Structure 1
Amino acid sequence: MSQSTSRCGHQQPCTLEDLGWTEEHDAAFSKYTGPYLPGRVACRQKTVWDVLISGGSVTAGISGTLRKLGRFPAVGDFVVLLDQPEAGASTIVDILPQKTRFARGTPGHEGADQVIAANIDTVFIVTAAGRDLNARRIERFLAITHASGARPVIVINKSDLADDPATLADEIASVSPGIPVIPISAVSGEGVDRLDPYLSAGTTIALIGSSGVGKSTLINRLMGSPVQDTSHTRDYDDKGRHTTTVRQLFVLAGGALMIDNPGLREVGIGTASAGIAGTFPDILELAENCRFSDCRHEEEPGCAVRAAVAAGTLSAARLESFQRLVQELAFEQDKAEIGLVRLEKKRWKPIGKLQRDIGKTKGR
């Protein structure tokens, strides 16, 4: 196997077990004999992928079969490499089954999800004190995280810049029932040790969040060295530019694996109803007491959800966010079903019916 220097930056040599390889991967790879090697995708650079293998890394393209099928490896995927030393090349010929698949709806009207990363155990939803601390945006990130099967953790960076850091977690507690919320400062290191329980060796964590919230700074803090470029946010709107331009997997000193992502300007929720169920368990629980099983929580009589809003036990903004995301999910599912027929032929599913479908996923 001819090895090459990673185009995505230097990585310490690892074993497959260090990369999260399990007995399940062994079983899936066992059908390959001959000049094949397993590896894990560390990053993608246009038409080639950097793949970590036991003891090093290689740069590889993908087979024509995978390309024809539209199966492109994502960062975090475990793959099968065909070793061709006589040609000085390596080729990805298969993608092993994914434990989790972290995706978002693609911007525009493609009707398909965009895979962000694969085989993720935990997602750090990184926000920041100030203008970026937005409950509605966090709900959207929670929806795509729950849909992936990974565990969400909300990380509030730049907590040292807040007037009252102790109240930061309280500001978003109402939109994240049961979800850990951890205020930190990646610059000073304050509170970063509270992330340690989620950074055990062999586990994979993905960072997502808007540009300028400090994901790259957090990576540098956890790595103990500046492996990612950083930039300052603009004073007038707290926004940052995309200093991270590719998704990349890093191996931390303690053995955890972390995937950094470019800031997401647009967060589509994709087509997975499980994401809504995991994000709004309070509303779905209330909905079980509505008079009608297909209640849209608008003007129907006997609506337990609207009654909770009137009583002040549920915020109107949270209900509005739920309805907006359910409607968006209905549209995304409809696009997927009709195979991108002209949008004039939209066939919106009844929101009440979709809500029943979402409710069935609760507790799975």
Structure 2
Amino acid sequence: MPKRAETTYSRGVNMKSPSSTLLQLGWKPFFSNQLSAEEDGRYRPVRVMSVHRGMVTVQGEGLEESLSSSLPVSKGAEDRPTVGDWLLVDRESRNLVRILDRTSLFKRPAPGDDRRLQLIAANVDTLFVVTSCNRDFNVARIERYLVVAREVGVRPVLVLTKADLTTDPRSFLETARALQPGLQVELINGREPESVARLAAYCGVGDTVALVGSSGVGKSTLVNTMRGSDSIATQAVREDDGKGLHTTTVREMHRLGFGPEGGGWLVDTPGMRELQMSEVTAGVAEVFEDIVAITLQCRFTNCTHADEPGCAIKGAVAQGTLEPARLDRWRKLAFEDGLNTSVAESRRARPKKVAKKK
């Protein structure tokens, strides 16, 4: 828990010309444009560094402490503070006033209750999709992360770790780059600062990156190296299946120190073994844009790419220009997205049960 900083309030600060502190925290014109002249004088913008039960740890100009996460008005499932959010705080009472609109939001159905949303991180600029050069390297899983990143509108960067533990790291690099045209891929050794420094280009002042990947791929080791500390616990990978144990239990932002001017922020999330594909149609279309382009050449607009004549997909497979394995992954993700989206819409439409008074 960060130490409480001495709080000094100055009225009438123009957020159109933010202080260096706010700029370092990631303040952008997108956020300042949301403030009215009255709000600019009455309220103070702060950013959520971590979320705990009923509390948020925030930082802003002259303010660094934990506050109640309750808001005066809740308009929906997404109207709850999450890591990376920008909030307005009353200068006198320090109560939270509202959440500023987000540039991006990672979310998923809450475990055990698909009608509830679990907010993961907000206002992220870049998503580090971390996977290791061993048995964890799984093309289908990587594509799931890419779909989510594209749907949210965040730039994905594939980070290949444990390059020092394989005799042929180039093969992993080539396979990763072939997943999508223009996909940025970095091959690193998470324990070596010189190697991890390749990620500095994505972590400039005010930049926010999030980090996702299955357990055991070296996320905590990578975060420790990027921070220049060993404060995050790490655990060894099991030898029988190459998988690791969850070591991150709290979503929080870590300050990075790349470059002479200091770095941006990294949101570390608990390892997610599975990502449920729901309402990510645009993301699927972008990750598999090559297949979508081929479908537009089919004779019939409602072609199922099974037995119809003039099917361009079947023709591409026959000609060897489309890999059957990639086609199968596209079919699976598109079907899963459609099914889960339909279920989610049905459950949201279902009336909530009202507890009977005894």
TM range (shorter): 0.7 to 0.9
Instruction: Say whether the 8 Å CA contact 1:212–1:240 is kept in structure 2.
Output: yes
Of the structure 1 ranges 107-116 and 49-58, higher mean CA displacement relative to structure 2 is found in 107-116
Instruction: Say whether the 8 Å CA contact 1:29–1:80 is kept in structure 2.
Output: no
Q: Which residue in the other structure is 2:305 paired with?
A: 297
Q: Which residue in the other structure is 1:28 paired with?
A: 34
Answer yes or no: is 1:38 the counterpart of 2:45. yes
Q: Deviations over 1:333-361 (max 9, x none)?
A: 2234334468xxxxxxxxxxxxxxxxxxx
Of the structure 1 ranges 190-199 and 239-248, higher mean CA displacement relative to structure 2 is found in 190-199
Q: Which residue in the other structure is 1:10 paired with?
A: none
CA distance in 2, matches of 1:327, 1:235: 34
Answer yes or no: is 1:268 the counterpart of 2:272. no
Instruction: Select the structure with the greater relative contact order (CA < 8 A; seq sep ≥ 6).
Output: 1
Instruction: Say whether the 8 Å CA contact 1:147–1:274 is kept in structure 2.
Output: yes
CA distance in 1, matches of 2:106, 2:213: 14
> CA, structure 1 residues 153+210, in 2 after alignment: closer, same or farther (shift >3 Å)?
same
CA distance in 1, matches of 2:115, 2:297: 34
Equivalent position amino acid for 2:44 in 1 = L
> CA, structure 1 residues 65+243, in 2 after alignment: closer, same or farther (shift >3 Å)?
same
Instruction: Say whether the 8 Å CA contact 1:184–1:190 is kept in structure 2.
Output: no
Equivalent position amino acid for 1:38 in 2 = P
Answer yes or no: is 1:15 the counterpart of 2:21. yes
CA distance in 2, matches of 1:127, 1:190: 19
What are the ranges of 5 or more consecutive residues in structure 2 without an aligned counterpart? 6-19, 351-358
What pairs with 1:163-174 in structure 2 (closer than 5 Å)?
A: 163-174=167-178
What pairs with 1:92-171 in structure 2 (closer than 5 Å)?
A: 92-107=96-111, 110-111=114-115, 113-171=117-175
Which of 281, 287, 305 aligns to 1:279? It is 287
Per-residue deviation, 1:316? 1.5
Per-residue deviation, 1:227? 3.1
Of the structure 1 ranges 315-324 and 302-311, higher mean CA displacement relative to structure 2 is found in 302-311
Q: Which residue in the other structure is 2:69 paired with?
A: 62
Instruction: Say whether the 8 Å CA contact 1:63–1:93 is kept in structure 2.
Output: no
Identity, in percent, stands at 39
**Aligned residue pairs, count:** 329
Give the TM-score of the pair, scaled to structure 1: 0.83
Answer yes or no: is 1:79 the counterpart of 2:87. yes
Which of 244, 248, 255 aligns to 1:251? It is 255
CA distance in 2, matches of 1:329, 1:99: 23
Q: Which residue in the other structure is 2:16 paired with?
A: none
Per-residue deviation, 1:291? 1.2
Of the structure 1 ranges 323-332 and 53-62, higher mean CA displacement relative to structure 2 is found in 53-62
CA distance in 1, matches of 2:247, 2:268: 11
Equivalent position amino acid for 1:4 in 2 = R
Of the structure 1 ranges 299-308 and 43-52, higher mean CA displacement relative to structure 2 is found in 299-308
Per-residue deviation, 1:18? 0.6
Instruction: Say whether the 8 Å CA contact 2:71–2:98 is kept in structure 1.
Output: no
SS at match of 1:29: coil
Per-residue deviation, 1:34? 6.2
Q: Which residue in the other structure is 1:203 paired with?
A: 207
Instruction: Say whether the 8 Å CA contact 2:56–2:66 is kept in structure 1.
Output: yes
Which of 176, 182, 194 aligns to 2:180? It is 176
Q: Which residue in the other structure is 1:312 paired with?
A: 320
Per-residue deviation, 1:114? 3.3
SS at match of 2:205: coil
Instruction: Say whether the 8 Å CA contact 1:111–1:332 is kept in structure 2.
Output: no
RMSD: 2.3
Instruction: Say whether the 8 Å CA contact 1:106–1:268 is kept in structure 2.
Output: no
Instruction: Say whether the 8 Å CA contact 1:35–1:83 is kept in structure 2.
Output: yes
What are the ranges of 5 or more consecutive residues in structure 1 without an aligned counterpart? 6-13, 343-364
Instruction: Say whether the 8 Å CA contact 1:147–1:275 is kept in structure 2.
Output: yes
SS at match of 1:205: strand
Of the structure 1 ranges 228-237 and 136-145, higher mean CA displacement relative to structure 2 is found in 228-237
Of the structure 1 ranges 21-30 and 127-136, higher mean CA displacement relative to structure 2 is found in 21-30
Give the TM-score of the pair, scaled to structure 2: 0.85
Q: Which residue in the other structure is 1:91 paired with?
A: 95
CA distance in 1, matches of 2:269, 2:343: 26
